[in-house]
A and B are shown apart, each in its own frame.
Chain A
Amino acid sequence: MNDTALQYVLVAMLGLPLLGAAGALLPIPSALRMGRTREQALLGLGVIVTGAVLVLAVVLAAGFDHDHPGTMQATTDLDWIPALRIHFHLGVDGISLPLLVLTALLTFLCALYSCFSLPKGLGPQAFVALLLLLETGTLATFAVLDLMLFFLAFETVLIPMYFLIARWGGQDRERSALRFIVYTVLGSVIMLLGLLLIGVKAGTFDMVTLATDNGSHLSHSTQLIAALAVGLGLAVKAPMWPLHSWLPDAHTAAPTVGSVLLAGVLLKMGTYGMVRILLPETPGGMHTYAPYLGAFAVIGIVYGSLACLALARQGNGGDLKRLIAYSSVGHMGFVLLGIATLTTTGVNGALFANIAHGLITGLLFFLVGAVKDRYGTSDLDQLSGRTGAALYGRAPRLGGLLAFAAVASLGLPGLAGFWGEMLAMFGSFKPAAGLSRPAYLTFTAIAAFGTLLTAAYLLTVLRRVCMGDRETAEARPVLADVRGYEFAAWTPLAALTVVAGLWPAVLLGLTEPAVRTLFGGN
């Protein structure tokens, strides 16, 4: 397919959900409802729009020139706000394409899932509008090539996610939602200052131009300040230890689809920004900060795993959703470690782990949400009682899927979780020239220890949730096993986890040349 057609596909991907969000807020004429209730019609609209966006994403991926993933394709470049030198500049390359497809897929699955199990809250109208607005923001973050537009997209997701948590969430939702948005906005305003500094000093906000320059127009001190400011904003989002403390609360309070999108897509915006902005545009600054980033990353890995271990222990009253949120801190630590190596291997690993985490943790949050629906609680102690919840016996398919997602998450070879973390540690074993090898070897060792801890807590969770004595397994009332719509929402994630695990070249073939371009083509 030629580039002009792809260009329209990409613009339509951003425009459709925005139009859909506006449409959801308008009254639906009864002629279009075709006999359904207003609620069904609205939820149907959400599925149709997100489904169309997914189709467009697949078309984009199919039409993408896979021989040149390092060059920007489907580019649109229009003068939008000349006063601030802001261009409406869009494009995809091998780095952003997988993330776009992941976003479109996860949002579609969430829309589909909520069609059948809409969380209690403000009603479907606002829900669908917010979900679609969220999709616009996330897709735009991965598709824009202008620093100010990136900031705009980065901010666009905040209001929808805030309301999804605050209006459809569980216990303590208002406070958690406010905490989420205050943390992120504080980070992103500081990021804005850094982006403006880059723009003012380099004379352009264009990410392609800035990446090609490789920071040659920025003095070292400018790079240091800009990288610190931008990095802080992105690190809050990622989240990097010790800026992660908003995440567990937000995840615990959020409704299932909110958690899935938060973990699956929103966290990726932080690490994507580091790869897309910091690595190529302020290489000097990144070189200085990389060891610190690496150190924080491995602390995050160990900290997240230890927190999970503590939550998983009997008698601690650990919440399953909170546990998976902490496990995200650990997994995103691997992504950050991969970036901190400043090598193509490490960054490829980071990008792979990004996608893998999106698939696996998305699935995990779906499953935990389903468990919570069935039991009415996600408190591990209440769930498992004294001997274990015996999910294998009570709902074998659900238990099986949970076990699958858990072992994928702990990085079993052959599933998606393995490659990214291994490549990140590989990169850390031999970091870029000029970085302290001993320090990175230590990081590698600590990260490897972190994988052991990860396995430990996930297996503990499996033992307590999936296993149990015969009495519990045969308890009444019978627990509903995986329902039809749940299968529809979860199968794609499970299938892709296997595909990415067995055939990593699908992803690495896309990211590898693009990462080489980022590092200046060497």
Chain B
Amino acid sequence: MPSLVQSVDWVAVTPVVIPAALALVVLVADLFMPPERKALLGWLSAAGLLAAALTLVPLRDGHRSTFCQTPGAACSYTADHFALVVQALVLGGALLTVLLSLTTGTTDATGTLPSGEYWFLLLSSAAGGALLPASRDLITLIVALEVTTLPAFALVALRRGDRLAGEAALKFFLTSVTATAVSLLGISFVYAATGTVNLSQVAHALGHTPGQLDHLAKVGVALTLVGFAFKLAAAPFHFWVPDTYTGAPLPVAAYLSVVGKSAGFSGLILLTVVAFRPYADVWGPALGVLAALTMTVGNVGALRQRPDAERGAVGLLAWSSIGQAGYLLVPMAAASSAHDPAHEIGTTVAYALMYGVVNLGAFAVAALVTRTAPRGRLADYRGLYGRRPLAALALAFFLLCLAGLPPGVIGLFAKVAVFSSAVGAQHGWLAVIMAVNVVIALVYYLRWTALLFTRTEAAPDQAAVGAAVRGGGAEGASGGGRVAGAVPGQTPGAAGAAAPAAGAAAGGTPLGLAVAIALTTVAGIALSGAPQLVLRYAQGTLL
């Protein structure tokens, strides 16, 4: 009789354990900390995430696995190269989110983000995100997905008294839960058809499903994928994204756009390429259509974003993140017809790394601008170059990376890699649709970039603050019922809080934000000089 006690390789699971344990520590410590020292909790979280990211270094051989049914086989947790790279992305993304939150959390317009709970939820979600790419059975996968998502609902709703945030969270919650339920149903079908939950065993069993179970298995495969497509915000499961992102606190939106997406795409990769490999002819075309639809819907949505819309900047980033998710799906669709699917998905990972760095950078600059212009309109970025040249240059660089035009060299080559996988896999039609989408995306990214470098005559900083202070009176009235209706009772409060905040910001950029912007800029420039740093994952076999 085999031993019932498993030996656990703790070293392999440290990247997951550290954020999870730290989450509990922070939650408890919050109870005993005097309010004025609560900023320490944020720095503690940042240090913990950094430590977790550093523990990936000794694992870089990628040979460890644990929680195995038999020693060395059928393991539930595998720290292979794929898992490590995505974990690095998740932990790095969470670290940058913490840096963004360090200031926004305390000087937020409403000033009521409860810090202990905030860090707890963020770290829990990061632990789930780190677990997901390493899971190798369906149950662990779905548990990890839920651990990533559930705290995110609360994070979105955390801004107390903000009706928009509550609505965003509820929308997010309801659609997400529905999708998870569908996914669970699918998993149960797959389990019924194959008798196992381990991914590679599922793949083996699906290849030999008896005839009468074939339909069940196919339905199961389709339903399972739906849940993960939802997390990736692939169209037509994307409608929650713009409302959720604009309603959530800005760092949470940044977090969802990178870590939430990486959870979605890594889950999809594991399911399609590992578990459902025998059904490549089913999910391959489906993913291709999904990719085309997603990028088109996202980019057209972003194109329609009005410059004077409230929180329009985050709204644009939200829609564009849907478009970018479409690009992430292209190599996966191409993988279905490739000889070695594990080879193709490296391109997705490489693209996601690029996207993670520059998108978080863009959010960081947005967070900086929002401090002085709390309404977060695109119009607030007019002439930013005149006021904050470095921030404007950084944002321009990030946007051009997202658009894929030099000087954003890394963005260009990441797109070239995606195009290349589509062309190589005979998916010419998908490549052409993506080409059109790149042009659409260019228009709105460039419009925003151009806005940064507009000539401004008056001192716009004071104008913006003045407008915010007057917000409750003249502007709220003249802006008509739409503005006031969207955030009833918010404008006067925001304006009142904005004046001291703007005064504080005039002294300089907060440390956390400055570090976040500097980190992402340096990473972006380094990657532009040596794209091989991320593109090498597009070359080798990760899984």
Contacts and interface: CB of A to CB of B under 8 A. Distances in A.
| Best-surrounded residue of B416, B419, B438, B536 (most CB of chain A within 10 A) | B416
Interface in B449-466: 450, 453, 455
B156 interface: no
Given A84-B535, A126-B453, A193 B412 contact: no
A148 B535 CA distance: 14
B393 A81 contact: no
Nearest to A153: B406
Interface residues of B, number: 37
21 contacts: A81-B532, A83-B532, A84-B420, A84-B538, A121-B455, A158-B406, A159-B400, A159-B407, A162-B450, A166-B450, A167-B453, A167-B455, A178-B447, A181-B442, A182-B439, A185-B442, A192-B416, A193-B428, A193-B432, A193-B435, A196-B416
A83 B409 contact: no
A137 B423 contact: no
A472 interface: no
A178 B417 contact: no
Contacts of B420: 84, 196, 199-200
Contact of B443 (A166, A182, A199): A182
Given A189-B435, A193-B419, A82 B539 contact: yes
A83 B535 contact: yes
A379 interface: no
B413 A81 contact: yes
Interface string B391-408: 001000000100001110
A408 interface: no
Contact of B409 (A25, A121, A152, A196): A152
| Chain B interface mostly | helix
Contact of B412 (A80, A83, A155, A182): A155
Contacts of B446: 162, 178, 181
Given A166-B450, A192-B416, A122 B455 contact: yes
A190 interface: yes
Nearest to A190: B435
Interface in A113-144: 121-122, 126, 133, 137
Nearest to B396: A159
A151 B405 CA distance: 11
Interface string B504-543: 0000000000000000000000000001100111110000
Given A148-B413, A152-B412, 17 more contacts: A25-B393, A81-B413, A82-B539, A84-B531, A121-B455, A122-B385, A137-B406, A148-B416, A152-B413, A159-B406, A162-B446, A162-B450, A181-B446, A182-B439, A186-B439, A193-B432, A196-B431
A82 to B, nearest CB: 6
Contacts of B161: none
B439 A83 contact: no
Contact of A174 (B409, B423, B450, B537): B450
Contacts of A102: none
A185 B438 contact: yes
A192 B439 contact: no
A189 B443 contact: no
A156 interface: yes
A133 B405 contact: no
Interface string B406-438: 110100110011011001100010011001101
Interface string A149-180: 00110011011001100110000001000100
Contacts of A167: 450, 453, 455
